[in-house]
Amino acid sequence: MDGLFSQVAVLGSSGVLLCAIVALWRHGIGAYISAFKWQSNVLAALTAAVAYFGHDYDLYWVAALMIAVKGVAIPRLLTRLAHRVGQNRESEPLVNTATSLVISGLLILLAYTAARPLQTLSAAPTRAGIPLAIGLLFVSLFVIVSRKKAITQVIGFLMLENAIALLAVLATYGVPLVVELGVFLDALMGFLVMQIVLYDIHDTFNTLDVDVLNRLKH
């Protein structure tokens, strides 16, 4: 049973990480949105699997919420935003596709080194997935700093949140439910506020390219 559990955990975590890599490899804003959507759905499925194998039934709620908020609501809002502002390509990221993929690979290797002490400490069947969660954390940070459209930066941020949710699920079968709810609410509010500011940026600057945000000098 534990063997199967552990395989599911690794497979699920790899799927979650892979979605982030796919986003780096394709160009359109639509691709970023659908990558995030699939990432959230895979993460929700993995959470449900951990609920089943780990006998932690609160996690079913978390999985359901994850699908509702991150799998459905946020991707829809993002799509509407992309249509409204008429931007559908991450034209020129600061780092080109090939280099981005190489860097992601290196970041994941780094994550394996960084996660070693965590893995040795844990006896949970899910521990093999922990480096992948840390890897996703690094890759999302890279997405945020290397993309030039504000909307792709937001998606990077949402992926960073998924990375931490993945880490929480793998390491401790999730944080307590009340906290999980609070975090969800915060993520949703944070996203909504980011959306407002994105509209503000678009209205004032007529673009979502963060290159134009250079009025304030240090």
Partner 1 sequence: METLLLFALAGPFALSAVLAALGVGDRRVVGWIIAAGRVISVGAAIALWTIAIGGSPFAPAAAGLFRVDALSALVACCVVVVGTISMALGPGTPGSGHDDPAARRKFQAYGNVFVLAMLLAVTVNNVALMWVAIEATTITSALLVPLHRSKASVEASWKYLLIGSVGIALAFAGTVLAYFDFVTITGQRQTSLGWPLLMHSAPVLDPGLLRLAFVFLLVGYGTKAGLAPMHTWLPDAHSEAPAPLSAMMSGVLLAVAQYAILRWKAVVDLTPGGAAFTNQVLLAIGLFSVLIGALSLVRQQSYKRLLAYSSVEHSGLICMGLAFGPAGVFASLLHMMNHALAKSTSFLLSGRILARYGSTDVDGVRGLVRTMPATGALFATGVLALMGLPPFGLFVSEFLLFRAGFTSGHVWETGVALVLAGIGFVGLSSHLLRMLYGATPDGVMSGERDARALAPIVVCAVALVVLGLILPEAVGALLGRIVEGMTA
Which of 118, 128, 148, 209 is in the footprint of partner 1 by CB under 8 A?
118
Q: Is 110 in the site for partner 1 (CB under 8 A)?
A: no
Quote the crossing angle between the two packed helices 150-172 and 29-54, to the nearest 10°.
Answer: 10
CA angle 173, 175, 179 (to 5 degrees): 155
Is 144 a binder of partner 1 (CB under 8 A)? yes
Q: 48-66: b or e for each residue (b if 16 or more CB lie within 10 Å)?
A: bbbbebbebeebeebbebb
Q: For residues 1 and 120, which CB has a smaller minimum distance to partner 1 in the complex?
A: 120
Closest CA relative to residue 139, chosen from 16, 11, 8: 16
Out of 17, 150, 151, 155, the only residue in the binding site for partner 1 (CB under 8 A) is: 150
- Quick one: which of 214, 127, 218 has its CA closest to 172? 127
Q: Does 94 bind partner 1 (CB under 8 A)?
A: no
The answer to whether 139 and 109 have CB atoms below 8 angstroms apart is no
Give the total of residues touching partner 1 (CB under 8 A): 47
- Could you say which of 45, 146, 153, 155 contacts partner 1 (CB under 8 A)? 153
Site string for partner 1, 173-192 (x = CB under 8 A): x-xxxxx--xx-xx--xx--
- Give the dihedral sign, CA 26/87/39/128: positive
Where does this chain bind partner 1 (CB under 8 A)? 117-118, 121-124, 137, 141, 144, 150, 153-154, 157, 160-161, 163-164, 167-168, 171-173, 175-179, 182-183, 185-186, 189-190, 193-194, 196-197, 200-201, 204-205, 210, 213-216, 218
